[in-house]
Structure 1
Amino acid sequence: MRRDILDLRAFYASELGRMARAMVGRKLTETWGDAAGLDVLGLGYPTPYLGAFRPRARRVVAAMPAQQGVEIWPGVGGGLTTLAHEDALPFQNALFDRILVIHALEESPDPTALLREVWRVMAPSGRVIVAVAARDGLWANAESTPFGHGRPYSRRQLAQLIREAEFEPLGYTRALYAPPVSWLSGQAETFEQAGSRLWPRFSGVVLIEAIKQTYAIKARPQRVKSRVARPVMAPIPATRDPARRNPSP
């Protein structure tokens, strides 16, 4: 059973929730930039993270599962959220350039069907980021947070699920190394820097970026010039088909 919308809102209004939003949100903007001129969809409970894209994206909307409930967002101007059945999203095919899936898979009764709907509404050249609670992290056991409910995933489990939904994983990254306790929120940056180097496996959240597999996409996606010296998301090697090329972010 999904967490209620009121619980999710309360968490992100707390000091711990604000820290989680900052750490995870940074990974999203590092990967997608400001999404200038793009159509962006958030699925699950994405509103804490979508605000960064609103100034320059062409369209930003959020879809929230019916079992969870929906909130009015952004609160001024017109509403940009909709209540949806996760296996029947109210959007036309191939509409969105970027899709964020967060607080969605862990409590879904059918994660593959959810991701297949994401596949349907995503443009052929689009990208999806799926963020889930990491199986080996402390946050998966923190029941006072949204990351402590439902099924957590290892990176390999998540990559396998994404491939089953006909996406091709491009790369992964991690976030939330600070313990899920409010009094350590002020030290989150220190934990983030140290954790990514010393104990990368024990992050609270794992994020994978993927592209849509279609008959039109056969070759490796073109490499996009990056402003950093190393990729934001480490590449994920293909595991099931030895003949498949190893995609790069």
Structure 2
Amino acid sequence: MAEETSIVELGDWFDTPPGRYVRAWEQAQFDAIVADVFGFNALQVGLPSLDLLQANRMPFKVFVGDSLAKAELASQWQAQVVARPEALPFESDSIDLLVLPHAFESTDEPHRVLREVERVLVPEGRVVVSGFNPWSLWGLRANLPGMPPWLPHPPSAQVSLARLKDWFKLLSFEVDRGRFGCYAPACMTDVWLRRWAFMEKAGDRWWPVCGATYVVSAVKRVAGARIIGAPWKKRRRARRVAVPVPQGSGGAHRAQAEAVGHTATGIKE
């Protein structure tokens, strides 16, 4: 635990030049994914400085974090909750959309976080996760001995996309969208990051799995039980008995036939 960092330190890192570079790319990815997700309740866990639900149209959006968001940021949420991602204070099957920016890197118990995600999401609910890719130029630099810290979390805290997909599969999540990004080398200034901007298109085409960060979306699948309606009692309709009327008979015969017909109506099968 000594080497782990908190979500607050991650928020500070997003104010640095490389942090702003990652922030802009991740914001665009989250916006594209959540725009078409419908429901009633959406949660963002951590990083109040990033409104990753701004493109979503759900009526109730909640921020969950170690502390409340600052006053200037609070207006973008309908509610705020102080809680840890390992213990979300929400009912099971109650959340339609959950976004987790770098949450698995900010905890000692990523499996427990994922189990909480599975618990609170409704069937067919969606979770969107971002993380740093350990198999990238940035990950390589972070693993070089003697180099000063580069990323807000140590290499041991990073979760690769391949491992995350395995975790999703074990909990019956279906990964349906995902993308790597931020292919520029590890640079500390905006000037050098702009000089390496051409790497974005090249990386997407030639080495797409080597982006410094990723955003992935998964849907909670539940083995469906067939919904069976209430065993409504079917009414048996009374059957009208046809009584032949002799041809040429008079009104007495017709009256008798009608009387018999009315009596037969009440007969049960």
Task: Give the TM-score normalised by the residue count of structure 2.
Answer: 0.68
The AA in structure 1 aligned to 2:113 is L
User: What is aligned with 1:145?
Assistant: 151
The AA in structure 1 aligned to 2:60 is R
Aligned-residue offset at 1:125:
2.1
CA contact (8 A) 2:22 2:213 kept: no
CA contact (8 A) 1:39 1:60 kept: yes
Instruction: Tell me how far apart the structure 2 counterparts of residues 17 and 193 of structure 1 sit (CA, whole Å).
Output: 20
Instruction: Tell me how far apart the structure 1 counterparts of residues 86 and 75 of structure 2 sit (CA, whole Å).
Output: 29
Instruction: Tell me how far apart the structure 1 counterparts of residues 168 and 154 of structure 2 sit (CA, whole Å).
Output: 21
- The one-character-per-residue Cα deviations of 1:54-103 (angstroms, maximum 9, x if unpaired) are 6x331222222x4xx55436535386433213322011222222211222
The AA in structure 2 aligned to 1:177 is Y
The AA in structure 2 aligned to 1:178 is A
Instruction: Tell me how far apart the structure 2 counterparts of residues 122 and 134 of structure 1 sit (CA, whole Å).
Output: 26
Aligned-residue offset at 1:34:
6.4
Instruction: Tell me how far apart the structure 2 counterparts of residues 76 and 84 of structure 1 sit (CA, whole Å).
Output: 16
CA contact (8 A) 2:42 2:62 kept: yes
Task: State the secondary structure of the residue aligned to 2:157.
Answer: coil
Aligned-residue offset at 1:105:
0.9
The AA in structure 2 aligned to 1:173 is R
Spell out the pairing of 1:70-81 with structure 2 (5 A cutoff).
71-72=69-70, 75-77=73-75, 80-81=79-80
The AA in structure 2 aligned to 1:213 is R
CA contact (8 A) 1:39 1:95 kept: yes
Spell out the pairing of 1:24-173 with structure 2 (5 A cutoff).
24-33=26-35, 35=37, 38-45=40-47, 47-50=49-52, 52-53=54-55, 56-64=57-65, 66=66, 71-72=69-70, 75-77=73-75, 80-140=79-139, 141-142=141-142, 143-146=149-152, 148=154, 150-173=156-179
Which of 188, 198, 203 is equivalent to 1:195? 203
Structure 2 CA distance for partners of 1:47 and 1:215, relative to 1, 3 Å: farther
CA contact (8 A) 2:6 2:106 kept: no
Instruction: Tell me how far apart the structure 2 counterparts of residues 153 and 77 of structure 1 sit (CA, whole Å).
Output: 32
User: What is aligned with 1:14?
Assistant: 16
Aligned-residue offset at 1:11:
1.8
User: What is aligned with 2:184?
Assistant: 178
CA contact (8 A) 1:46 1:101 kept: no
Task: State the secondary structure of the residue aligned to 2:87.
Answer: coil
Task: Give the TM-score normalised by the residue count of structure 1.
Answer: 0.72
- The one-character-per-residue Cα deviations of 1:187-234 (angstroms, maximum 9, x if unpaired) are 46532222111221211112321111312289xxxxxxxxxxxxxxxx
The AA in structure 2 aligned to 1:208 is V
Identify which range, 112-121 or 199-208, moves more after superposition: 199-208
The AA in structure 1 aligned to 2:54 is A
- The one-character-per-residue Cα deviations of 1:152-195 (angstroms, maximum 9, x if unpaired) are 23332111112223322223211221223223333465322221
Instruction: Tell me how far apart the structure 1 counterparts of residues 76 and 162 of structure 2 sit (CA, whole Å).
Output: 40
The AA in structure 2 aligned to 1:124 is P
How many residues align? The count is 214
The AA in structure 2 aligned to 1:175 is G
Task: State the secondary structure of the residue aligned to 2:198.
Answer: helix
Q: How many percent identity over aligned positions? A: 26
Structure 2 CA distance for partners of 1:106 and 1:78, relative to 1, 3 Å: closer
Instruction: Tell me how far apart the structure 2 counterparts of residues 217 and 130 of structure 1 sit (CA, whole Å).
Output: 28
Largest Rg, 1 or 2: 2
